[in-house]
Amino acid sequence: MLRYLPHTEEEIKEMLETIGVDSIDELFQMIPERLRISSLDLGKPMDEYNLVNYFRNIGESNVSMDKLRVFRGAGIYNHFIPYVVYNLASRTEFLTAYTPYQPEVSQGTLTFMFEFQTMICELTGMEVANSSMYDGASAMAEAILMAARLKNRFKAYVAESVHPEYIQVAKTYCMGPGIELELMPFDETTGRVDLKDVDFTDGEKPAALVVGYPNFFGVIEDLRAIRTALPDDVLLIVVANPLALALYRAPGDLGADIVVGDGQPLGIPPQFGGPSFGFFATRMKYVRQMPGRIVGKARDLKGREGYVMILQTREQHIRRHRATSNICTNHAHSALMATVYMSLMGRKGLKEVAKRCHDGAHYLARELISSLGGKLVFNAPFFHEFLIRLEMDTKYMDEKLREKGFLGPLPIVDFYPRFGDDVALFCVTELNTIDEMNELVNILEAIKNGDI
């Protein structure tokens, strides 16, 4: 316990004398007697050796993804993370600094944030990105709130094919301002959002439509067609997998107004779902309604270039109840990991990772169709996830695959009961080898034939 606390008895005595009190307890005299407790019941302080063992022993009862062959994604993905990402992120000058309130001694933080914002703008095709949000789901929710403010409307459409947890979070966030969320169906054949029966002139207009890119089913939405079908004054919010944006046209080039998403695929380990970070990008004309911290270029007294936090009058510490958001602490350190990751990957590397994910998923889909008679649920183009009907109980399949050392595809029935219990959401990344895919297909065949 004392290893972090530097005071000697002597010093304490001197300090108390200086203050002019007799004991430390005297300093707590403002706390009413009735409230005082004498101690907390938390056990004895643990030394470092036992602490490490405690966590290791409990941790080892987890079966981690590195011990499994992983074909599960659904929002958290198993990608290769170069060691340098961890190494640089562990620099304690990054880890133990806080928000760059004093830019003169925070140029490391501010410069990387500027780079991060640039990279997010490059990926999304937008003009301005903030320096991070908590996660993809809260970023999407904040995008809806921002659209409602911009349009002064209390309704938004969300494609039903957006990640179900993101929709739940959006619902929670929308309770506050009283924004009504209406779910937009997907086309049963393509899996793409289906706006043909939506009459935008009928009733209250939505502030925005939210679609996934790819959506939860892995399907690449035709953003251009969606934009065309939307009235001009309805904002298009795109929830993107940032890795997919290396292969697919930037949403900004296809008419998106706000692009958000979760940065976990960019060099952040799965970590049981967090922390990762949310990214949030939009057009410059909307910047004053953006949530979160934004870094911009500045000049110092001597004319030297550097970076500072800008447009802070949007934020809670200045604007208080009129702020664009309550966000203060964000996920800067995760954004740093992504910045290092994207720097290492570069344009070509990121494209290659994305392409390998795509190629693997398409190879596996073909094998499941040809060897197993699997039927893709949707016929629209997909990135690295796909829904397929396998004519087997996917819960049983899941159990059997786990016995064989796989974290298999996700049975979709818990998320969308309407697909039934024989449909699963597969995910392939650059880490899945052809051999393990072939083995997976063999096991599934055995399950299907009743051999397992």
**Considering just the CA atoms, what is the radius of gyration of the chain in Å?**
26
Binders in 169-198 for another protein, by CB under 8 A: 169, 171-173, 175-178
Binders in 199-218 for another protein, by CB under 8 A: none
**Residue 328 binds ligand PLP (CB under 6 A):** yes
Assign residue 152 a region (left: φ > 0; alpha: ψ between -120 and 50; beta: otherwise): left
**Residue 18 binds ligand PLP (CB under 6 A):** no
Query: 44: how many CB neighbours lie within 10 A of its CB?
Result: 6
From the list another protein, ligand PLP, none, pick the one residue 201 interacts with, judged by a Cβ distance below 5 to 8 Å according to partner type: none
Give the nearest distance from C-beta 329 to ligand PLP in angstroms.
3
**Amino acid letter for position 174:** C
For ligand PLP, the closer CB: 133 or 158: 133
From the list ligand PLP, another protein, none, pick the one residue 144 interacts with, judged by a Cβ distance below 5 to 8 Å according to partner type: none
Spatial CB neighbours of 18, under 8 Å, sequence gap ≥ 6: none
How far, in Å, CA of 138 to CA of 121, rounded?
19
Residues in the interface with another protein (CB under 8 A) total 210
Angle between helices 107-124 and 332-372 (to 10 degrees): 30
Binders in 388-427 for another protein, by CB under 8 A: 398, 402, 407, 410
Binders in 312-371 for another protein, by CB under 8 A: 312-313, 315-323, 325-334, 336, 340, 342-353, 355-356, 358-360, 362-363
**Residue 236 binds another protein (CB under 8 A):** no
For ligand PLP, the closer CB: 153 or 331: 331
Query: 17: how many CB neighbours lie within 10 A of its CB?
Result: 10
Give the nearest distance from C-beta 139 to another protein in angstroms.
10
**Sign of the C-alpha dihedral computed for residues 263, 268, 270 and 274 taken in this order:** negative
Spatial CB neighbours of 41, under 8 Å, sequence gap ≥ 6: none
By three-state DSSP, how is residue 179 classified?
A: coil
Binding residue for another protein, selected from 9, 22, 48, 232, defined by CB under 8 A: 48
Map residues 1-30 to x or -, x wherever contact with another protein holds by CB under 8 A. x-xxxxx---xx-xxx-xxxx--x-xxxxx
Binders in 73-112 for another protein, by CB under 8 A: 74-76, 78, 80, 82, 84, 86-88, 90-109, 111-112
The DSSP 8-state label assigned to residue 269 in this structure reads -
Per CB under 8 A, which region of 154-162, 186-194, 196-204, 310-318 contacts another protein?
310-318
Binding residue for ligand PLP, selected from 1, 199, 329, 451, defined by CB under 6 A: 329
Q: 48-82 burial, b for 16+ CB within 10 Å, e for fewer? A: eeeeeeeeeeeeeeeeeeeebbbbbbbbbbbbebe
**Residue 61 binds another protein (CB under 8 A):** yes
Binders in 126-155 for another protein, by CB under 8 A: 127-129, 131-132, 134-138, 145
Give the nearest distance from C-beta 111 to another protein in angstroms.
5
Judge contact between 415 and 375, C-beta under 8 A: no
What the block records as the tokens of 344 is 């290492």
Residues near ligand PLP (CB under 6 A) are 328-329
